[in-house]
Amino acid sequence: MNNTSIKGWILSVAIMLVCLNTQAQTNKISKDAAVAGHVIDAQNNEHLPYITIIVEGTNTATLTDDTGHFIISGLPEGEVKLTAKYVGFKTQTITVNTKKNQTVSANFTLEQSGLDADQVVVTASRYATKKREAASVVNVISPKMFEETLAVNPAGVLDFQPGTRVEYNCGNCGFPQLRINGLPGQYSQILLDSRPIFSSLGSVYGLEQLPSSMIERIEVIRGGGSALFGANAIGGVVNIITKEPTRSSLNLTNQTALIGGQAFDINTSLNGSLISDDGKTGAFLYSMIRNRDSYDHNGDDLSEIPAIKNQTIGVRAFQKMGKRSKLTFEYHHIHEYRRGGDSLDLAPTRSNLAEELDHSINGGGLNYEYSTKNERNYINIYTAAQSIYRKSYFGTNQDPNAFGNTDDITVNAGAQYVHRFPTLWFMPSTFTAGVDYNYNQLNDEMLGYNRVTSQTTNLVGTYAQNEWSNKKLSLLIGARLDMHSELDSPVASPRVNIRYAPTESITLRASYARGFRAPVTYDEDLHVSSAGGEAALIIVSPDLKPEFSNTANLSFDYWKMLGDWQFNILVDGFYTSLTNVFALVDAGYDDSGNKLLERVNAHNARIGGLNAEVRLAKDTKFNFQAGYTFQKSLYTEPYQWSPDVKAEKTMHRAPDQYGYIIADYSPLRQLTFSANTTITGPMLIQHYAGVIDTDRNETTPTFVDLSLRVSYDFNISRSTKMEVSFAVKNIFNEFQSDLDYGVNKDSKYFYGPALPRSYFVGIKFYI
């Protein structure tokens, strides 16, 4: 373990000791007002342990104990609102009148809910909003979905949202790319705790490097409806929110997979959380070790799935400074090694084809929140950073000069102010304004290929918006002004959202946003593919102009209770126009004989389609969710990426149809059966010469990836449980059948399900 890792561990242990010391102290009995009560399940009248009880308008909160009871002291005298919330149950708020030196009673009865319409999200408008009342459509991925889909990182679960696809663009190193509404990964903004610290380098493998054990939930917005997070959020926003402790607990999990019946993938995580008796101090600590063998599908001694070794440690801690202020700290360290090609047990210089990457990543953030007594004013001051050091080898034919080194640092800092008007002109409103600064320094050296990239970018963004909102109607008008160091003048990106709920069951939404992409280095540029035994490098044209976008969304959202069943259907239409589209074209060879692909401005493009999602749930016993996308991604003029191929209007790797189904059924509280499938229709894909004689366009077949899982919970003791699970992924073994063979293969000619038929065994202990 390097020095940075040791410092990370010391910091984590120090915070744990502080929390233990705080927890060991006995709370003093307040002479102020107090509330005591219990929480029960409406279905069976059983007491519910570990339910969060929040005192509205303050940072005061507690949990029910293992008998389902709670007490909150130190409250002001008068009217107090208490809210009980827990995943899988409908949120309930009650009002009590407290009296000085007295304890009053407050009891909750929670109804089970498979579809949580009242869930609070933060990505729609940069402040907490109920999902159902948000100005934009927000999809939420819960920890339960990670388990059901066997996902150990975000890349494994994002396929199970309408309009989103994760594809793997390299058969050597497993380069994952997220596509939203038909647009490649560079068009979407990935956030960690609402902060844009994923740089171009961090986005190359970042979706596979964050372990699921650190994630509380993922919020996904499709389209440009959340442009206030960044004007490059054209396709959408993926906000990865890390776990915050709510009670002291311990969790040990292992998931072991056998890929294709021959390669092991072993994931082990150990997580623990500690919280003081008064709830003012807490820390969640997580760690994960992953060891995956490489997998060769077609028997040519070259991997289609690379070997991975990943170690992650991290902590998220908070300190409540008072009833209305809070300081949150997050730190993570990731060390990942991945290797693909042949002769993986030898040095890469002794391989005929090798991609080897060694990452050391350190990141974290500090966040301060303050709200006034009446909740009308909210201030958020934050800073976050992530540094990446990468050693790489992208080479063929035992090339001794294909090594590279990359240093990358990203810093984000800013402040946000929110003011809530009881009435502004014609209805209540929320005004939001802020400033956001982003700094990125990238140094990438591959001296063997005579390529040196040195890039420093500064981005200062200011934004303001006002949202008029009540139960029936929302009107949000806002804009962001970005001053980018690579552009001559500031760029304004307006945003408009309208929500109308004619009935309690129906919500209509419409949005418009404008965005841009600056002519800088992107994730693909920092990955070197191979074809025909040659490395293929991406260069940026010196004449590259900014790319601009206009995005519109229109949605229909219907919720209905049908007896004990909850039903939800969402239909979302989207349209994006792109000007000066970035595209790659064949640029011949450089002086060293390396194949070059140049990023240039192609013609304009139009992307449009329809996302449909259906959800059905009965309590927590049965949950069904399905989504499907119909779309077209077209250039306005035919685009020719190689002189050997016919120009096409259709954009590559953008299937017209794709979707998913996920369902779970629990006939007993301890027993759960799960099934999920993804469907990917035909798409146009580039195939470079090497194994084939000339470059050509290929059309892929339709893929159906079906998986089944069964799990059972055992009660070891009153406070300790164990879960055992078994699963089979890609039951029909629908893996790419026309893979290139040998050292001359095109490493980017890789598509379809990420894994062949694979078998999984899992075990989890939690206290």
Residues sharing a CB contact under 8 Å with residue 737, sequence separation 6 or more, in sequence order: none
* SS3 letters across 522-574: CHHHHCCEEECCEEEEEEECCCCCCEEEEEEEEEEEEEEEECCEEEEEEEEEE
pLDDT digits 0-9 by tens, 275-323: 887 788 999 999 999 999 999 999 999 999 999 999 999 999 999 888 7
Beta strands 215-222 and 188-192: pairing type? unpaired
Give the pTM. Answer: 0.86
Residue 356 one-letter amino acid: E
Beta strands 103-105 and 33-41: pairing type? parallel
For residues 766 and 742, is the Cβ–Cβ distance under 8 A?
no
CATH 2.60.40.1120-classified regions of the chain: 31-110
**pLDDT band (50, 70, 90) for residue 527:** low
User: What are residue 623's DSSP bridge partners?
Assistant: 617, 664
pLDDT digits 0-9 by tens, 202-240: 888 888 988 998 899 999 988 866 656 776 777 888 999
Tell me 112's DSSP state.
B
Return the pLDDT at 22: 42
- Cα dist from 57 to 79, 81, 244, 344, 665, whole Å: 12, 8, 19, 57, 38
Q: Which residue has the tokens 């990426």?
A: 641
Tell me the CATH class for 31-110.
mainly beta
Residue 8 in this model has a pLDDT that exceeds 60: no
CB-count exposure of residue 160 (10 Å: 0-12, 13-18, 19+): buried
Tokens coding 398:
């035992």
Return the pLDDT at 525: 66
**pLDDT band (50, 70, 90) for residue 24:** very low
Q: How far apart are CA 229 and CA 197, in angstroms?
A: 12
Q: How far apart are CA 113 and CA 568, in angstroms?
A: 12
Outline where DSSP puts E strands in 563-692.
565-579, 582-589, 595-601, 605-618, 622-639, 648-650, 657-668, 671-680, 684-687
Angle in degrees, CA 515, 238, 505, rounded to 5: 95
Return the pLDDT at 90: 78
Residue 623 in this model has a pLDDT that exceeds 70: yes
CATH entry, 120-766, from 2.40.50.140, 2.40.170.20, 3.10.310.70, 3.90.1150.10: 2.40.170.20
Return the pLDDT at 55: 86
Residue 506 in this model has a pLDDT that exceeds 60: yes
For residues 198 and 208, is the Cβ–Cβ distance under 8 A?
no
CATH 2.40.170.20-classified regions of the chain: 120-766
Residue 333 in this model has a pLDDT that exceeds 70: yes
Return the pLDDT at 138: 87
b/e string for 374-395 if b means 16 or more Cβ within 10 A? eeeebbbbbbbbbbbbbebbbb
Q: How far apart are CA 604 and CA 195, in angstroms?
A: 30
Residue 466 in this model has a pLDDT that exceeds 90: yes
b/e string for 234-264 if b means 16 or more Cβ within 10 A? bbbbbbbbbbbbbbbbeeebebebebbeebe
Q: How far apart are CA 23 and CA 277, in angstroms?
A: 5
Helix (H, G, I), strand (E, B) or coil at 214: helix
pLDDT digits 0-9 by tens, 532-543: 556 677 778 888
For residues 574 and 136, is the Cβ–Cβ distance under 8 A?
no
CB-count exposure of residue 542 (10 Å: 0-12, 13-18, 19+): exposed
Stretch among 56-60, 195-199, 558-562, 741-745 having the lowest mean pLDDT: 56-60
